[in-house]
Amino acid sequence: MAILIAALALAAASPRLLVFPLPNQVRSNGGAISISGYRILSDASLSGEAVTAREDLPLGGNRPEEVRLHLNIKMPSLGQEGYHLRATKAQILIESPTRAGLFYGVQTLRQMTTRTASGWLVPSVDVVDQPRFGWRGMMLDTSRHFFPKKDILHMLDLLSQYKINSFHWHLVDDGGWRIQIKKYPNLTDRGAWRIPTDGRFPEYKGLDFPPRRPNDHHYGGFYTQDDVREIVKYATKRHVNIVPEIEMPGHNLAATIAYPWLICSKDLKPGFQKETDFVFPNIFCAGKESTYKFVEDVLTEVMALFPSPVIHIGGDEVDKYLWSRCDDCKATMTKEHLASPAELESYFVRRVEKFVNARGRHIIGWDEILEGGLAPNAYVMSWRGEAGGIEAAKQHHKVVMTPWDQCYFDHDNTELPIEVALGYDPAPVSGGPNLAKYVMGAQASIWTETLPFERNIEDRLFPRILALSQSLWRVPRESESSFLDRLDLATGDLFRKIPGMHLRGPRVDQTVVLPGEQVILKEMPIGGLKLRYTLDGTRPNTTSSKWPGKLSLTKGQVLTAGYVGTNGLASEATQISCAKIQSAAVANVQPGLTYAYFAGSFKSVPAFAGLSPARSGEHTVIGLFAEDKEKEHYALDFKGYLRIDRAGTYRISTLSDDGSVLWLDGAKIVDNDGFHGRREQTATLKLEPGLYPLEVGYFQFTEGASLDVMISGPGIPKQKLGKGLLFH
C-alpha cells in the first residue's frame, strides 16, 4: 500500500501517472482526492457511455466523487478519439467531441484510480489527450489454436483499457476454419476439427482434418454466428473495431479438405505433397468461377456480421505451384492477358476487392498483394519489414505496419524485448510527411503455433502491448527509463489483474560491477512473489536467499536474481557479473578485427582454443558472411579491440540466432548462448577511454542465422559495432 500512495504523491507533485499510454498533456492541480467511489452523471444522450463507465469504475460509498460525461462538439481539435479530463475535489469532468473520446477518458480515470485501505485515491490533474495514430491494433491467430468466446471477450476488455482500438481476428488458416458459414456448413463441421487430437500444431505434413465419427475427439472449435454477434457487440461498446481475416487464396487447408472442388486439378495432388509436405493442396484455384462464387458467398455472410469498414483477405505466402500447371488457371491467364501466376494472384485480389468495394468496404491484405500489381483501393499490412508498407504508401495506398522483427509478439519476450516495442515508430523514416500520411498505424501480431492457451497470449502480450500502445498514442516521446520506472511501480497491480503477464527481472543500472561495488536492484512489489538470488550462476528457486536490499560482489562472482513464487522462478532472471575490466596498452593497431570460421555441429559457443579453423582472416565488422548465408552447423570467433573515446556508461549487446557470447578483457559480459531464434542480450557497464580486448563467439545450428553486435553510450546512439570502434 505504501508504494501505491507514494506513486500517487509523485503524480501530484509532477504530472507523472501510472497510466498507459501516458497522456500527452498532464497538469497537476496539487494533491490527491480521497474517495469512497464514483457517482456517474452524463448527458441524456450518453446513457450507453454512462453504463460502461459504471462497469469500469468503482461506485458508491459514503463520499462518492461525481464524474460527469459531457459530449462537447465545440472541441474539434481533439479529433475522433481525444478527450479532456479535469479532476478536482468538486467534480471530475470528462469532455470530448466523440463517444470514443469519452470512453478513453474513462479508461484514463480507471487506471489512475488506486485502492487504499479506506477507499480510493485519484490525483487532482488536468489531462488533454488524443492519439497520434488511428490504428492501434492487435492480431490474434485463432486458427492454429482455438480460443473460446470468453477468452476473446476478456482480451477485448484488456486491450480497450490501454486504448488499443483494432482487433484483427485471424479466423481462417491451415490450422482450422473458425467461423460458421451457413451456406457451407462443412467448413466448420469438418474444417474446424483436426488431428493430432491433443491440439499440438505439428509440421504441416502431420496436419489433417479427417471425417469425425460420433466418438472421435478431434482438436478444434469454431465461433457460431451468434458468438460473433455477441463479440462484435461487446467490442463496439468498448470502441474496438474487429477486422475479420478470411485468408485467401492460400493458407486454406481446412477449407480445401472440407470442399475439395476449391483446388486445382486433383491429379496434381501427389506433386503438391512432394513439393510442400502438405497432405492436400491448401490453395484455391484462381481459374474456376466456382472459386469466386464461394469467396463471394463467404464474404457476404462475414460482412453481415462485422461492421468493420475494412475486411482482411490475407493474400500471403501463396505457393503458386498448382496454378502454373492448372488448365483452368492457364485459361484464365490467357483470357485476361496475365503474364505470370503473380499477375493471376493480383487478378484474384482485384476481383475480390471489386466485390467488397461494391458493398461499401475496403480490403486489406498482407504485403504480398503488392506482387503482380496492387488492387486500386486496397490497404496493405506490411509484415516482411516495412518495405512493403513504404512501397504501398508511395503508390498512395493506406498502410498498417506490423514488421515481424518489431511487432510479432509471438516472439519470446527475450527475443523481442519491451524496449523494441516502446521505440517502434511506424511512420517511414524516409519520404517525410508525404509518405507518413498514408500510415494508419501499427499493430502487434500473435501467431499461435506454439501458444495454445490464454495464459500464453497474456505472457506474450503484456506488458509489451503497453509499450506499443504508448508509441502509437503519445506524441511527445517518453524516455525509456521513465516508462520502465512507471511500469515497475504499476507491475504489482498489473500482475493481479493479468496473472499470465510476463514478468521482467529486477532492473539494474549496470550488469557488470567492480569488486566491492554495491549492487542495488530496482525491486518491484509483486503480491505472492519474493525477490531471491544466487551467487553461483544458477537460477534462483524457493530455497534461494531473499534479496537483502544491497550486496557487494567479489571478482568472478555472478549474481542471478528473480521473482520467485511457490512454483519456482516466475520472472526473467537478472544477471550481474563482477569483473575488473581494463584497457590494453597496445600500439600500431589497424581498423577491423580478425575472425576464424569453424565447421561442425555445435550445441553452444565452443571453446575455440582447441579447434582448427576451416578459414580465417580479417573483417571490418562483426557479423555473418554472405558466403555462409545458406550454411548450417558452424561457429565464428571474432577478436580485436573495442575503442572507447569518452568515459561513461555503455550498453553492449549481441543480437543473434543461434547463440553468441561476448567477452571484454577476458570477462564474459554478454551470455546469449544456446539454441534460440533472433534474440538480444545486453550488458551495461562503465568504461574509461582506451582499447579493450574484445572477443565475440557465435554458433549456427539450423533454421535461421543472424549476428549483430550493438553499442550505445556517450555520444554514440545505438548502432552496430563497426568502423571507427573496432581495431586489431
Q: Is 556 helix (H, G, I), strand (E, B) or coil?
A: coil
Q: 317 an active-site residue?
A: yes
Catalytic one of 317, 336, 480, 618: 317
**Residue in 167, 80, 70 with CA at minimum distance from that of residue 129:** 80
Q: 676 an active-site residue?
A: no
Q: Let me know: does 613 contact 643? Beta carbons within 8 Å.
A: no
Catalytic one of 251, 312, 397, 502: 251
Looking at this protein, which amino acid is placed at residue 687? Answer: L
Q: Let me know: does 53 contact 161? Beta carbons within 8 Å.
A: no
Q: Provide φ and ψ at 581, rounded to 5°.
A: -95, 125
Looking at the DSSP bridge assignments, the partners of residue 65 are: 38
Helix (H) or strand (E) segment spanning residue 560:
strand 558-565
Catalytic one of 173, 301, 671, 680: 173
What cell does 7 get? Answer: 506513486
Going through 570-703 in order, the beta strands assigned E by DSSP cover 574-578, 593-599, 615-619, 634-644, 648-657, 660-664, 667-672, 679-687, 690-700
Q: Is 439 helix (H, G, I), strand (E, B) or coil?
A: strand
**Residue in 260, 221, 245, 268 with CA at minimum distance from that of residue 316:** 245
Cis? peptide before 226, omega within 30° of 0: no
Q: Is 283 helix (H, G, I), strand (E, B) or coil?
A: coil
- Between the alpha carbon of residue 381 and those of residues 155, 283, 353, 436, the distances in Å are 22, 21, 15, 14
Cβ-Cβ contacts under 8 Å for 510 (sequence gap 6 or more): 576, 649, 684, 685, 686
Q: Let me know: does 410 contact 447? Beta carbons within 8 Å.
A: yes
Cis? peptide before 452, omega within 30° of 0: no
Whole-angstrom distance, CA of residue 515 vs CA of residue 686: 13
Catalytic residue positions, numbered? 173, 251, 317
